[in-house]
Chains A and B, each alone.
Chain A
Amino acid sequence: MRKRSTRTFLPNKKAAYLLALLFLAVSVFIGTAVGTIHVPFRDIALILSHHLIGTNLYLDTSIDNIVWKIRFPRVVLAGLIGASLAIAGAAFQGLLRNPLADPYTLGVSSGASVGAVLVLFFHISIPFLGGFTLPAVSVAAAIVTIFCVLLFAQTIERSMKLETIILTGIIFSSFLGSFISLMIALTGEELRQIINWLLGSVSMRGWPYVQLMTPFFITGALMLMYMAPELNAMSFGEEKAKHLGVNVQRKKMLVLIAGSVLTGAAVAVSGTIGFVGLVVPHFVRLLIGPDHRHLLPLSMITGAGFLILADLTARTIVSPTELPIGVITSLVGAPVFALILLNKKRKGGVA
């Protein structure tokens, strides 16, 4: 039996939200401030207020450019991606009743990756989309993938048990993964480009990518948060959820689609960034418990802060070279996750 102490509750939920928001704010400021040119926090605050609420600005325009045109959009994008991956991870874990589930389990990210790699490989450029061809194709591929997975699962079994969905996801994942490998093998000079994309990065994206990401993020996140009570019920099993009055079939579908949209958009914009969707919800759950009504928003906020810091590390640690952000999240995420698991094992409980 697990002891009560293994679930360390913060004294109340308000404190948890304050703490998470503080963490996010600090991450945003540090993420914007640190770089080859250091920008003081006060200047950042001035620049942000100038652009957001129109106060006067008396600073050097080059600083303004660095902050507003380069660093801040990058921080915002990293934040959006972190938030998307974390909330999607939390939702998938609740839905699949498996604390080790992850936005990547269902093959969504592989689908998105195939879309992106196809664009890189064939140098596809869709008219009117131009530079957005890659993310657009990628999101589309992610959504197509999740529908293929669901369709396939439904063909196997009409009631679409979660086990079936997971298995189908894994099959699709490996199948699509082999496609990527095939294209890498056939590639000549684009190899580095593809690998770089696969490892994930948020550099040199700018505001357009933020604009691209935002609608997907808002839709997906709102859908998931609205379904928090259903996720609570479904984490006791589909049958129990049905007895409690949840329209399991429909809600399950909605959660899967919302989660895939979030994951697909994140992968499309930044490549595959692992472990955020796994570690962040896990960590938040340890602090405030598994109630999805709080777990989802808190995972979102914390995930955003986490990825901003990860990106900061990626671009500063071996400056001037930039590491792919996926390397950092995996370097940090995997050992932290291993520690959490070990700790659990020692205390003799299951997640």
Chain B
Amino acid sequence: MLQATELSGGYGSGLIVRGVSFSVQKGELFGILGPNGSGKTTLLNMISGLTRPESGTVAVKGKMVDSYTPKELARVVAVLPQMTSSQFAYTVKETVSLGRYAHQTGFFKSWTQEDETAVQEAMKQTGTSSFAEKPLSALSGGERQRVFLAQALAQEPEILLLDEPTNHLDLSYQKELLDLLKSMTANGLTVISIFHDLNLSSLYCDRLLLMDAGQIHTIGTPADIMVEQHIQDVYDTDVQKQPHPEVPKPQMSLLPNMPALAEVDIHEGLLEHQPDYIAIRPPVPLKALSSGVIGAGWGWRSAFVNRHVDKSYNMEHFEEEAAAFFAGKGFDLNETVGMMTAVKMEDAAWRMERQEDVSVFAVATAGVGNAVDVTQPRSSWKKQITPGTINIWVFANGKLSEEAFVQGLMTATEAKVKALADAGVTDRETGTMATGTSTDSLLIAATQRGAYQQFAGSITPLGIAIGRAVYEAVTESLQKTTKRRENL
């Protein structure tokens, strides 16, 4: 559809773009990325025929771009620049109608039904119909940008060139605009767009071109471009790559340049003991991976609560009830990990373990009324609602990799299983050694300050500390609950 060959050019003296070659297929959404001054807009201007390249060629539909007449070109290629303005108060409808200029032929340039339909359709697609009669000057920047998009669409182009189209748009319109473009590429429109936002372009584009100092750094699928090393090379900025939660496209997070942080220790002194819950509110938010009633999954959390509920607790609407309880106690639901157990809070146990440059503080409440051997065949899990839970918190005073979090979960679980085995807890149904209970919860939270811990396997300092702390805490809590039951 579009083929650029060895394009070089720029304004005035000096080449801003040097030897850029690429091709774009029909129906592609092609993104151009690069830092300020890397020549993105110059490249786009050469493609659109606005700037004549010093050397190299641009072919549109197999024909050189400079052999088109202006009108012919406008029927094939439409351009949405970063900012268009007029000193005069044209209405939205008048502005969009100008998009039909290239389609109006003959001496009197009469306005046909086809023109009207194209204009109405373009305004409908961009959601600008509702202010069709307003003057442009009465619109916000984002609304104006959509009007000019409508103008470009009214040209009924086969190729649409955009220069940072999402610049003035708020979040919902960014998404709508890109969804619209994406759906139009499915109908055969070819879109070439400059993006500032790496993540947006990764989400929507079929292919990306990463510019660096006027040359192509990398060209390929989002996965090819969104490599931490590439982005660091080109933008000279620290980023971290993560998967998108729903879409199999990589995303980049900026890593702000923060001053070295003072170390923070999570320890016994921070434990708050209440009759119906224990809590820890660390001085800084902790990066946490957990299961729990609220605040499960990944997150930065600033409060951790383990709540006692009665054995007869109604499990039907436990999420709403629990949320109301935690909120009522003054915990911010967005920043809290909350767990529940039938175990009395007096039976909670904790242990601090230090290994080399890292320390681990573990808290456990262990009830085994419901102990289960997960390795035994079993018919149904859902029926079972008798509470009896082992809740474990592991706080690591160090900077953990994601790998360390996962290994930490494994290590903590192994320690729990060993504690149950050493305490002789059995699955009542099968009579075999229990490996846990049916509703166990686990939390690993790290201060992300201090020494870096890449691993938390069983022979690493962090792994050893986790194993020891969890084992001791679970064992002690088991002893307390067992004693309480015996005393009954």
Q: Contact residues of A with B, CB < 8 Å? A: 1-4, 6-7, 94, 97-99, 229-230, 232-233, 235-237, 239-240, 242-248, 285, 289-291, 349-351
Contacts and interface: CB of A to CB of B under 8 A. Distances in A.
B94 A289 contact: yes
B86 interface: yes
Contact of A237 (B78, B84, B89, B134): B84
Nearest to B77: A243
Nearest to A290: B88
Nearest to B78: A243
B85 interface: yes
A245 B138 contact: no
Contacts, number: 101
Interface in B64-85: 69-75, 77-79, 81, 84-85
A6 to B, nearest CB: 8
9 contacts: A1-B138, A2-B89, A3-B138, A229-B104, A243-B78, A245-B73, A290-B86, A290-B90, A291-B90
A221 B84 CA distance: 29
B137 interface: yes
Contacts of A290: 86, 88-90, 94
Contacts of B140: 1
Contact of B74 (A2, A235, A239, A245): A245
Contacts of B86: 97, 235-237, 290
Interface string B454-482: 00000000000000000000000000000
Given A7-B89, A229-B109, A244-B99, A239 B135 contact: no
A236 B140 CA distance: 17
Contacts of A237: 84-86
Contacts of B84: 236-237, 240
A289 B109 contact: no
Contacts of A291: 90, 94
Nearest to B90: A290
A173 to B, nearest CB: 22
A267 B87 CA distance: 28
Contacts of A289: 89-91, 94, 135
Interface of B: 48-50, 69-75, 77-79, 81, 84-91, 94-95, 98-99, 101-102, 104, 109, 134-135, 137-140, 151-152, 155
Q: Which of B71, B86, B88, B135 has the most CB of A within 10 A?
A: B88
B102 A4 contact: no
Nearest to B107: A226
A201 to B, nearest CB: 33
Q: Which of B77, B85, B140 has the most CB of A within 10 A?
A: B85
A44 B139 CA distance: 51
B102 A97 contact: no
Contacts of B77: 243
B79 A243 contact: yes
A245 B102 contact: yes
A3 B352 CA distance: 67
Contact of B88 (A235, A244, A246, A247): A235
A239 B81 contact: yes
The interface residues of chain A, by DSSP majority, are classed as loop
B105 to A, nearest CB: 11
A302 to B, nearest CB: 17
Given A3-B138, A4-B138, A97-B87, A244 B109 contact: no
Given A235-B86, A349-B137, A244 B98 contact: yes
B101 A239 contact: no
A235 B87 contact: yes
A243 B71 CA distance: 9
Contacts of B137: 1-2, 349-350
Contacts of A233: 98, 101
Nearest to B72: A245
Given A4-B135, A7-B135, A244 B101 contact: yes
Contact of A2 (B69, B73, B138): B138
B137 to A, nearest CB: 5
B74 A244 contact: yes
Contacts of B98: 229, 232-233, 236, 244
Q: Which of A3, A245, A289 has the most CB of B within 10 A?
A: A245
A222 B136 CA distance: 29
Given A1-B137, A239-B50, 5 more contacts: A97-B86, A229-B101, A233-B101, A237-B84, A291-B90
Contacts of B78: 243
A343 B148 CA distance: 29
Contacts of B109: 229
B101 A2 contact: no
A222 to B, nearest CB: 12
B89 A242 contact: no
A97 B101 CA distance: 19
Q: Which of B48, B50, B90 has the most CB of A within 10 A?
A: B90
A287 to B, nearest CB: 12
B101 to A, nearest CB: 5
Contacts of B74: 243-245
Contacts of B88: 94, 99, 235, 285, 290, 351
A244 B135 contact: no
B147 to A, nearest CB: 11
Contact of B135 (A2, A236, A246, A248): A2
Contacts of B72: 245
B71 A350 contact: no
Nearest to B91: A289
Nearest to B102: A245
Contacts of A245: 70-75, 101-102, 155
Contacts of B151: 244
A7 B138 CA distance: 10
Question: Which are the 9 A-B pairs with shortest beta-carbon distances?
Answer: A245-B74, A245-B102, A290-B88, A243-B79, A245-B71, A2-B137, A247-B70, A244-B101, A7-B89
Nearest to B94: A291
Contact of B101 (A94, A98, A246, A350): A246
Given A2-B138, A233-B101, A246 B70 contact: yes
A2 B144 CA distance: 14
B26 to A, nearest CB: 21
A4 B90 CA distance: 11
A270 to B, nearest CB: 29
Contacts of A97: 86-87
Contacts of A239: 50, 81
A187 B79 CA distance: 58
Contacts of A4: 134-135, 138
Contacts of B70: 242, 245-248
Nearest to A286: B89
Given A4-B135, A4-B138, A245-B74, A240 B81 contact: yes
A156 B213 CA distance: 29
A285 B90 CA distance: 10
Contacts of A235: 86-88, 90
Contacts of A351: 87-89
Contacts of B81: 239-240, 243
Nearest to A99: B87
A69 B50 CA distance: 56
